[in-house]
Structure 1
Amino acid sequence: MLSLTSPTQLHQHAEKYLLAGNYNQAASLYEEAITIEPNIKSYYWYLGLILLLQGQDVEAQTTWLMAIMQGEPEQVEAWNSELVKILQTEAERRERIEEHSIAEKIRQSIKEFSPQNIHNLLHLLQLAIKLEIYTGENLQELEIIEILQSEPRIEVNLELLLESLKIVLDYAPNHPSTLDFVEACLPYCKDNTQALLITLLPAALDIGYSQKQFGVAVQLCKLYLQLSPNNTEVIGHLASLYQNAGEYEKGIEVAKLFFSLVEGLADQVFANRQILRGLMTAGGHWEESCSIHNRQESLVKLLIEEKPVQLDAARIARLFNANFFTPYIKDNPINSRSIQNQLMQICQNNVDISEQKIVNRYFQGNLARKKQFETTKKLNIGYLSHCLRSHSVGWLARWLFQHHDRNKFQINGYFINTNPLCDPLHEWYLTKVDKTYKSNESLQLAEQIYQDEIDILIDLDSITLDTTCDVISLKPAPVQVTWLGWDASGIPAVDYFIADPYVLPDSAQKYYKEKIWRLPQTYIGVDGFEVSVPTVNRDQLDIPDDAIVYLCGQRGFKRHPDISRLQLQILKEVPNSYFLIKGISDEKSIKSFFEELTEEEGIDSSKLRFLPIVFSESIHRANLGIADIVLDTYPYNGATTTLETLWMCIPMVTRVGEQFAARNSYTMMMNAGITEGIAWTNEEYVEWGIRLGKDEALRQQIAWKLKQSRKTSPLWNGKQFTHEMENAYTQMWQKYISS
């Protein structure tokens, strides 16, 4: 009979009922135990817990308080601790089995008896996020920040504290209390700054690059540097984050500090590149940019001579885009491609060594799959990019996704750093692929591509993103192709680079590592662009109706002083002409840059107009209509902007060079059936600019030809372009299978 059982046995039976969820039986046994031994306080604690679990909150509190009130102060403190320990054990059990609501309820009770228990409060914080009831105010309501800031400093489990910090950063990075929480955690990490770094830096990079909250990311890095002022890892990223936040001068200053602190050659290459990035992105710092670029080239050449073979993953990744700005500064592909190819060979060698097992597994697995290939199956195509969203690449690549033949091709999308909550174009891409995979981790992406048995992997980023380069260098797919995002990367793991007869002539193959695969007419084809209602007009800009309006809408790092001088020379020779300048850059430095040039060229700076950025692409295109002529940049042409100009039927002038980036507008104009405005020398560039400015009939003729080209040009035929790309994929695969 239970009545004859000892209280200890009653407790053991009751615990079993509690674990089984049989609360009525458990409560009866504890009531019996209390009757037998009323002085054993733990029976009251367990009985109250069971009442709490049954939803009888008031009864639970009454049971606990009645038992506590019977003791002396020192007894009350001990009983309190005993009660908290029992409740905490049950809360932890509920958390392990993911019964978060029950755990939260128990921990709220713990808070009543131990309001300053920081570990319980941190668990409550985590539970609020898991239950999605976190508002950002919880840190104040729970008084966590106040307790952490109290003196003398409390003892805290650092692992729990940093785990809580990570969860808050993931869930509510933009709430003001989050930065306060980070700051409150700093004193507890003084003796373990590395643990804080592992928590804080990945969160800052995700908040910055994936969520585009660069200001918050900057603040996180600055907070960390309060503990470790010379941490080069954080300083290097802080330079980029400042630059992305539009705080160019601070970004340049921090990048220079970064360069002064690093010693190894690979680190110096990256740090110097960070300085160059700031200068070029701001625009207008051309003399210093060229000086820093010369140093960059020297550093890269020294690295090539050194041939390091034990670089870690982070250093390899940073070398991939070390030469990113070279084609913006000079048009010398024989030299620049040679340096790029040699640098990429170093990166590839280090990847092959550091990730030898993975690289070999992919190679052997793909080789075995090749032998078993069924000729009747669909080709499995994978697209890898961080740009399949509202981005130039996203706007241009969409027609390929739209028109793909799903009877012959399986289409997979591998998306990096995407934030779909506020990007309709990205959401559109998700509907156009058979399978979606998202990650910011290169090893995870590569493994998924390999597991998905992708036949041909299309890299849309080239060296614009190190994560993409990391994936490509592991060679998870047997055939790998670069298209659209930039010039070819030079990574040995890439088999082909998509081009056309205009953008890269036959002679270009000698300085490319990849095999150039030329499509018959154009390497890009679109069905057109959405155009909205313009938000600028001549009245707003104080420009007469009969004036000739030139426009150049490019980012700051495309505004080479040589081409800008030519543009101003055109302006000088065309009466009643104005020059509209638009593009992402530092407004102050760009204005200063052009004011200096106008003074040098003897031009009235009142003929210049600086247009603000609009963040709607369709409005941006509509606003192009204010221009009579668009003046292209050199040595790095427009690409998306050129297509948009031609679609808007606006005459343009482009300077053709040797490198891929200097021939983009040339191929697009040729494929639109326009030769007027194509210049092969600086003199021709100025001549075309002046002629188009003075000859209204010629401008009208070009506009008419451009409008007619919409009916027949391969440039405006996304379906035909897709067919040519699919033919290329099929032929690439046949070459691979038969090789």
Structure 2
Amino acid sequence: MNSQENWKQLAHRCLLQTDYAGAAKLYERIIAVEPDCLSNYWYLGLTQLLQGEELAAQSTWFAALAEIEFLDDPEVQSELTTELISILQTEADRQQQLSNHGLAWLVRQHLREIAPDNLRNLLWLWYLSIGLGNLAISDLETWELLELLNLEKSQLDELEDFQPSNDFQQALQQAFLASLDYAPLYPVLPNLLEVCLPLLQDPESVMHQVLLSAVKLAYAEGQYDLAIAAIERCLEITSHPLNFLRELAPLYQRSGRYDLAIQTARQCCENSNSLLDKIFSHHLLIRSLMGGGGYWQEAMAIFEQQELLLAELIETNPKDLTRAIAQRLSVVSFFAPYLRDRPQENRQIHNQVARLCTTNLIDLNRDRFETYALENRKRKSTASVNRKLKIGYLSHCLNQHSVGWLARSLFHYHNRDRFELYAYFVAYKQTDDPLQSWYVEQVNKAYRAGVDGSQSSLETASRIHDDRIDILVDLDSLTLDINCETLALKPAPVQATWLGWDASGFPAIDYYIADPYTLPESAQDYYSEKIWRLPHTLIAVDGFEVGVPTLRREHLDIPIDAVIYLSTQGGYKRYPDTIRLQMQILKAVPNSYFLIKGLADREAIGYMFSQIAEAEGVDRDRLRFLPMQTTEAMHRANLAIADVVLDTYPYNGATTTLETLWMGIPIVTKVGEQFSARNSYSMMMNAGIEEGIAWTDAEYIDWGIRLGTNLQLRQQVAWKLRQSRHTSPLWNGQSFAQAMENAYEQMWEKYLSR
């Protein structure tokens, strides 16, 4: 072997050992001896590039490329250029394998300049640029990437035996999957889905990841239309549509496309064969029908079928549920309180389903569950009553959400000398949310979890346990299924539910926090949790931000002397029997109008109200349907247009009731037996107002008429509400925080004494 070959081997060894300067010197010596061998220039330029000498590398390559142009043989020209491309491709691959992504990206950028239509290189460049955070839509346009991919797709469509290489497949899949969570590419994500999915050899294998990313886009980043577009594209290709339909229906609903939500939920039912699939699809259809409003008859019929399916499930008592199915099952009885005020029956179903879910989740995580239990017992043996308690709050609603608005006073007034606060943000929003940011600042430690139900719930449980939380407070109850697993494993020795919804029925929950009014005395008979009653109120706030009103009577073509009734609830709460009572009030009060506002299908809600109004002899022209306001402060300001607010039943208002009382507006509510039928009652009693509290349909109508026809009575109620701001426990956030803290300390004392 001659010295030239020895030098080349040594230079290559230096290259592999990252001695780029040494390799460059050797290639310069080789070129001095063999100036006509162009491959030496390729390697010299590469070593210069790897040292960061980009201009020198370009000069070296382009000088050699210029020489190629003078060659008479096109075949030799092509071979030499191909050789340079191969050398750069090989080095880029090597740097990538070594995880030197910056260098790999640099080599691929220069390779692109030499071979701009090398699709494999462009795909890896796409992938690396995302990882380095420097990819823009303009780059894809400059590279003409979509055009090249479309050309590849055309070949796939036209040539039966054409198949992209495995190397191409790997690069495309990696780049495509990376794009799903890369915000700068969101505007072109539908185009990428359309082009890339057909090119993948096994698109089904990646569509699960597309679905997870779509869920994250929707719920963590508020990109509902983009998430819908992604799932719709998958539905065009997949041979297993059920999971995609399940996610698509609620996204349609959230984006206001209620007819599509219902249609998609019905498709789920048509594609469901197993008992579990039928249960999930029925739940989805009930949700879609009720969310739209105006479909109550069908919703009730589906609910009755759902009860039979749940009874069969409870009888079967499966022991081998997957994590995802057990989580999803935890919320399937959610809508019962919207449809009927029969808490004994509703709670029985809730509790049995919750127990079934919990049993399966514990079996799936037996080691983790037993470890938590053992370590909690060890901690208990050395725990002190008088030390500072660690309180953890678990929620996806600590943001611009009803729960977020209502929990502010508690967090603000928490005594940091007695308590350490931890917040576990489930489905943490990536969008700008000032209230979410405020909560992060209020706690000693904030954990931001994602929306992946299979992992984030376990990771959250581990964080709670590692943080040695004493009392974990769940603010979501059955409004979010992935919390079920976290709570089932009992990472904290004491666990309680407060604020978000009715109790979940999970065996791992020790306490359900209520007050003297939100549950009747008999409620303990059908709750699995111990009901912990605060002395006065379940919730208190210091007040609400109120903006400038934008709603005026003349805008609505309502006379200045008319009586205005108002109802501000979503489609879930528009129970037809309650609407009939409201129409009877309207009929009995001359010169009165009814304003209806809330998230729902405007056409369906309008039709339902109009049909009931006609049946009760009320002119449709006395109804006004209002759009949603852009901000909560504006919404509260516009409440002032109402003379009387008519509450819903069997599911009352909660935040809306509190806002109504703060604005000094009389409210009529019917009190029931279940928690959701007693929210307004509790708030009114704590505000010192009994006018408007009805226990029967007849009393509801009577109060509605009396408050509508008696201006003096309305003024008396408004005056009492204004005075209550200075005296009521409902408006004393500091006192309420003390009551909650006392409850926590008593819960801890009971735990230690057991």
Structure 1 length as normaliser, TM-score? 0.96
Q: Is the 8 A contact 1:457 1:477 kept in 2?
A: yes
**What is the distance in 1 between the residues matched to 2:150 and 2:99?**
31
Q: Does 1:172 align with 2:183?
A: yes
Give the CA deviation at 1:74.
3.4
- Alignment-mate amino acid for residue 152 of structure 1: Q
Q: Is the 8 A contact 2:671 2:677 kept in 1?
A: yes
**What is the distance in 1 between the residues matched to 2:623 and 2:205?**
52
1:640-679 to 2 correspondences below 5 Å: 640-679=655-694
Q: Does 1:603 align with 2:608?
A: no
Distance 1:540 1:161, change over 3 A: same
- SS of structure 1 residue aligned to 2:393: strand
Q: Does 1:438 align with 2:448?
A: yes
Distance 1:55 1:225, change over 3 A: same
Give the CA deviation at 1:612.
0.6
**What is the distance in 1 between the residues matched to 2:60 and 2:752?**
73
Q: Is the 8 A contact 1:331 1:657 kept in 2?
A: yes
Which string of whole-angstrom CA distances, capped at 9 and with x for unpartnered residues, describes residues 457-515 of structure 1?
11100000011122111211111111000000001111110000111132100000100
Give the CA deviation at 1:105.
2.7
Q: Is the 8 A contact 2:135 2:184 kept in 1?
A: no
1:109 match: 110
- SS of structure 2 residue aligned to 1:710: helix
Distance 1:587 1:287, change over 3 A: same
Give the CA deviation at 1:693.
0.5
Give the CA deviation at 1:39.
5.5
1:126 match: 127
Match of 2:43 among 43, 46, 49: 46
- Alignment-mate amino acid for residue 54 of structure 2: G
Which string of whole-angstrom CA distances, capped at 9 and with x for unpartnered residues, describes residues 651-684 of structure 1?
0000000000000000000000000000000000
Give the CA deviation at 1:581.
0.2
1:37-116 to 2 correspondences below 5 Å: 37-38=34-35, 40-52=37-49, 53-56=52-55, 57-66=57-66, 68-69=68-69, 70=71, 72-95=73-96, 100-116=101-117
Q: Does 1:359 align with 2:369?
A: yes
Q: Is the 8 A contact 1:139 1:177 kept in 2?
A: no
Distance 1:82 1:371, change over 3 A: farther
- SS of structure 2 residue aligned to 1:636: coil
1:396-415 to 2 correspondences below 5 Å: 396-415=406-425
- Alignment-mate amino acid for residue 291 of structure 1: A
**What is the distance in 1 between the residues matched to 2:740 and 2:13?**
67
Q: Does 1:571 align with 2:583?
A: no
1:465 match: 480
**What is the distance in 1 between the residues matched to 2:664 and 2:38?**
87
1:326-725 to 2 correspondences below 5 Å: 326-440=336-450, 441-725=456-740
Point out where structure 1 has 5 or more consecutive residues left out of the alignment: none
Point out where structure 2 has 5 or more consecutive residues left out of the alignment: 157-163, 451-455
Give the CA deviation at 1:11.
3.2
**What is the distance in 1 between the residues matched to 2:256 and 2:572?**
14
Distance 1:476 1:79, change over 3 A: farther
Which string of whole-angstrom CA distances, capped at 9 and with x for unpartnered residues, describes residues 499-538 of structure 1?
0011113210000010000001111111110001011011
- Alignment-mate amino acid for residue 464 of structure 2: I
1:286-297 to 2 correspondences below 5 Å: 286-297=296-307
2:137 match: 136
**What is the distance in 2 between the residues matched to 1:24 and 1:328?**
74
Q: Is the 8 A contact 2:42 2:61 kept in 1?
A: no
Identity, in percent, stands at 48
Q: Does 1:307 align with 2:306?
A: no
1:225 match: 235
Q: Is the 8 A contact 2:424 2:447 kept in 1?
A: yes
**What is the distance in 2 between the residues matched to 1:199 and 1:334?**
41
Which string of whole-angstrom CA distances, capped at 9 and with x for unpartnered residues, describes residues 437-467 of structure 1?
1112211111111111111111100000011
Give the CA deviation at 1:286.
1.0
Q: Does 1:161 align with 2:172?
A: yes
Distance 1:236 1:421, change over 3 A: closer
Match of 1:198 among 200, 208, 220: 208
**What is the distance in 2 between the residues matched to 1:202 and 1:560?**
34
Structure 2 length as normaliser, TM-score? 0.94
Q: Is 106-115 or 659-668 further displaced after alignment?
A: 106-115
Q: Is the 8 A contact 1:239 1:274 kept in 2?
A: yes
Q: Is the 8 A contact 1:230 1:261 kept in 2?
A: no
Q: Is the 8 A contact 2:39 2:83 kept in 1?
A: yes
> Structure 1: which 4+ aligned runs deviate by more than 6 Å?
none
**What is the distance in 2 between the residues matched to 1:233 and 1:421?**
26
Give the CA deviation at 1:84.
2.5
- SS of structure 2 residue aligned to 1:298: helix
Distance 1:425 1:97, change over 3 A: farther
Q: Is 625-634 or 216-225 further displaced after alignment?
A: 216-225
- SS of structure 2 residue aligned to 1:685: helix
- SS of structure 1 residue aligned to 2:236: helix
May I ask how many residue pairs the two structures share in their alignment?
Answer: 735
Q: Is 336-345 or 374-383 further displaced after alignment?
A: 374-383
**What is the distance in 2 between the residues matched to 1:173 and 1:348?**
40
